Amino acid sequence: MSIKQISVFLENKPGQLKRMTSVLAANNIDMRALSLAETKDFGIARLVVDDAYEAMNVLKEADFIASLTSVLAVAVPDEPGGLDKLLAIFDEASVNIEYMYAFIGGEEAKHAYMIFRVASTKDAEMRLAGKGLKIMTQDDIAQI
Q: How confident is the model at residue 95 (pLDDT cuts 50, 70, 90)?
A: very high
Residue 52's CATH number: 3.30.2130.10
Q: Name the domain boundary from 70, 94, 117.
A: 70
Report the run of H or E that residue 112 belongs to, with start and end.
strand 111-118
Q: What is the DSSP letter of 96?
A: P
Whether 111 and 123 share a structural domain: yes
Distance separating alpha carbons of residues 23 and 101, to the nearest angstrom: 23
Whether 92 and 45 share a structural domain: no
Whether 51 and 78 share a structural domain: no
pLDDT at 141: 87
Assess whether pLDDT exceeds 90 at residue 17: yes
Q: How confident is the model at residue 79 (pLDDT cuts 50, 70, 90)?
A: confident
Whether 89 and 114 share a structural domain: yes
pLDDT tens, 45-55? Answer: 999 999 999 99
Number of structural domains, the chain?
Answer: 2
Q: How confident is the model at residue 106 (pLDDT cuts 50, 70, 90)?
A: low
**Residue 124 Cα to chain centre, angstroms:** 16
pLDDT at 38: 82
Whether 53 and 106 share a structural domain: no
Whether 63 and 85 share a structural domain: no
Distance separating alpha carbons of residues 68 and 47, to the nearest angstrom: 10
Residue 139's CATH number: 3.30.70.260
For the segment 18-26, the average pLDDT, to the nearest whole number, is 98
pLDDT at 104: 84
Whether 78 and 132 share a structural domain: yes
Whether 77 and 101 share a structural domain: yes
Domain of 62? 3-70
Alpha helices in the chain (DSSP H): 16-26, 52-61, 82-92, 121-128, 138-143
pLDDT at 64: 97
pTM score, whole prediction: 0.89
Q: Name the domain boundary from 12, 35, 70.
A: 70
Whether 35 and 81 share a structural domain: no
